Chains A and B, each alone.
Chain A
């Protein structure tokens, strides 16, 4: 599913900063992987590259058979629309849209017919347990519920790859546990490949594999006992 070969990412400025210094990595279809590392290790940059939000300075990022480094802006947009979905720490929900509208947003961008959108939205809202909240605004929901909306939005496109950036970072322990359970269920039932960037050991332990980053390099890559297989 994911293949990174000699990936380097440098940010130009008054002094160039190397965020990733030659990453080589393979993640198979249906894996649930955690990426951990201290601040500045390159976790978020790596996630951005995997999702086609950014391009590497050099190297190959092949996701679902597509080398994202060679795609133009439009190609990467279309890739994001169909192959990948995101969950952010800060949810990034549209504050003015109702829950159902937030979930429907990627389908509208893809030009899916309204009837189908409605059907898919209802299905995923039920899946994440928010069917009774579809007419609420994000501000009217708890942090855990907001993250469920973000997960529903990620699921609605049926993308094979789900990237989560600190999905439990803004939640208390109980709400965080709920979200991790939900992700585990999605992984198990849908077979979605999930990559989670986290500082939280508990979140990492929900995964079957742990990749550790330090100073833009892979420091360790190990299988976790008891994680989602």
Chain B
């Protein structure tokens, strides 16, 4: 076998470099998509967890509370039995004046007491750090990790400006950290400063983000947790750093899960590319196969030869794909990190390292994809009778096989997919996997016969407009059912992915746009944090009265959002002045109505829940939601269920009076300001800015600006998905090029005969281009229903499984129009080289070609 591989296979590769490259590309694109997404995902999640672990240092427990831990709690905790040390922490992710450095995690700690908790590994003999008091006396003092300082070209005494809610703030380097342990958190992009300076800088008031706790040696974690929970009450969360890391991981899990589908599609499309290329390799090498068989090669030896070639291609493609994936994964990580920071207020930074597991998985996928794609053609090769292999043109004349069983199996698989989607028998990832597998099998089985049927209908139509080229292209496509259906399969899968995922993105965006138009109806939004999900600063509640007194202001609502855990998931609890809100906002009620909502929330102390909350936790009007407030558990009866896209884990909305009553916290995230009729919005905005200048960080946006910012965040959420859509189109393009090159190669003799009979090169070129257009058209026609089904699956069962939302379905007309414009151009472009090749074939050589 080694001799055959070394001689026959290698020489085939040498003679057909372009086709081998295309086969490799199929594997490379599939594996690269998989490995880059997996490694970026892995680094992001590992980075999040590792940052939590490293920053935690020797802390065994961490105390957090929605809205921050009041300063006085530290004293209370310190006096409890079993507590060895406590240390307050403030954590803030900022960007610097040098955007290329990426996000920087600022850790505010108590330098006087924190050495019990963390080993900083300060470098050198810096006097400032030897005397923390000197360090603390200068509020702009900052310590950076050595690797960040090197990247930012920072020396001791040198400064860098941070982008913070109040604007730009310059800090001075007063120390460096050794790059090990703690300083490796957040990929080394770490800055340490005094916790009280951080409180001031980031507007935390007299609260900390958390308290780190170290227990005495004789106190167990369980004992410590019990003591703290008992002393602090249910409003405080006491957990180990590991548990907290898990919780943060859970928050980004939904976002990350979506990429598994992209990886799966990339690989499936790759399989069809490989199938096609091996199919042609078998056809082109029929005479060689015949000779081998005549010389005594067994069918198994022939099959093994092709599978060995696939194995080599799989290994090489897997390696290259992994390398390419590693290269692009850093960019993927950056996009993913930015998205999770914008959407969830959580991110990690670092260099993507490819763990051996992902390398192994990628290699196995490359090899697996290649072997699966080559299996059919290899089997065909082994079954070629030697006598048939020597007969010129015999294989081109082979009729397609019977398809009744195939169609029946396809219909059953697709029907089962739809039935299961309507009534899922089980949930979780196994449901998604089963659905995608069954749906994929259904489509694969049906595409062949359906594409043939479509071509039979389309060819006569095309022939009317282009009699010669139309007939030639029709004959070429219908004459080789396997090749044609393989290409259309890859096309249809790519386009199903594009239409399905694109359709899902479009539907989601449209639903959110409509919701924003209905919900965000005030004129100005005053907020202190640029991040929608991570409040860097909260306004005092008393500011509302000051804003109300400004000329031109009609009303001001105080919006506050907290993100507590509910049944293990981080939901959103929001509060606002409901009666004012209902005057301007139009809710879409799925249960209850406006009257019930107004009365329930303002007079009866009830709450409203979002439709996804209702679905996820199976709670509706009249039932109760139990929330944990600082004073203990509070039960709220549900007055209505409304469509709301505030949180993918569910939202509970209550009147501000209820929040103030139970949470005893009057701070505000956003003030929603409505202006008087006729008042100038821009002037009111200037007045607000002037009022808050120098006192609070304030971002004042008009309605249009606010909506645009949210839209930008949503677009960022789908940025990586768009990259995978582009990859799918690239694979589709590769599929067309491969198929046409194959078509020309297989029909060399036929083309020679046609030329001998007087066909013009231009007629042949046109027929090849028509062939490409027909392939694309049939692929698109087949992808229309399957893409729609895929989009419906994503918008319905899949979205419901992860978020509880059922997105309204909007047909992706925009994408369809874009495809209708792009596909003919791409197809014609893909046909250019094969068409030229066909035109240049020499008659005498072509006629003798096999």
**A binding-site residues for B, Cβ under 8 Å:** 48, 51, 53-54, 73-74, 77-82, 86, 88, 92-94, 96-97, 101, 104-106, 108-110, 153, 157
Contacts and interface: CB of A to CB of B under 8 A. Distances in A.
Contacts of A86: 294-295
A96 B7 contact: yes
Nearest to B296: A81
Contacts, number: 70
Interface string B631-660: 000000000000000000000000000000
B291 interface: yes
Contacts of A97: 7-8, 11
B296 A110 contact: yes
A77 B11 contact: no
10 contacts: A77-B296, A77-B298, A80-B293, A82-B296, A86-B295, A92-B287, A93-B291, A96-B14, A97-B11, A104-B3
Contacts of B784: none
A92 B290 contact: yes
Contacts of B7: 94, 96-97, 101
Contact of A81 (B11, B287, B295): B295
B550 interface: no
Interface of B: 3-4, 7-8, 11-12, 14-15, 287-288, 290-301, 385-387, 390
Given A51-B294, A94-B8, A96-B12, A108 B299 contact: no
A92 B294 CA distance: 10
Given A53-B386, A92-B390, A80 B296 contact: yes
Contacts of A93: 291
Nearest to B4: A108
A contacts with B: majority SS: helix
A89 to B, nearest CB: 10
Given A92-B290, A94-B8, A96-B8, A106 B296 contact: yes
B556 to A, nearest CB: 82
B387 A109 contact: no
Given A48-B387, A77-B299, A80-B296, A96 B4 contact: no
Contacts of A101: 7
Contacts of B386: 48, 53-54
Contacts of B300: 74
B299 A73 contact: yes
Given A96-B11, A109-B301, A53 B294 contact: yes
Given A81-B295, A92-B294, A94-B8, 19 more contacts: A48-B387, A51-B294, A53-B294, A53-B385, A54-B387, A74-B299, A77-B296, A77-B297, A80-B296, A86-B295, A88-B390, A92-B287, A92-B290, A94-B291, A96-B14, A97-B7, A97-B11, A109-B296, A157-B296
A77 B291 contact: no
A73 B385 CA distance: 9
A4 B295 CA distance: 22
A92 B289 CA distance: 10
B299 A109 contact: no
B391 to A, nearest CB: 10
Contacts of A96: 7-8, 11-12, 14-15
Nearest to B848: A90
A77 B293 contact: yes
B293 A108 contact: no
A80 B299 contact: no
A92 B285 CA distance: 12
A94 B288 contact: yes
A106 B11 contact: no
B387 A80 contact: no
Contacts of A51: 294
A40 to B, nearest CB: 14
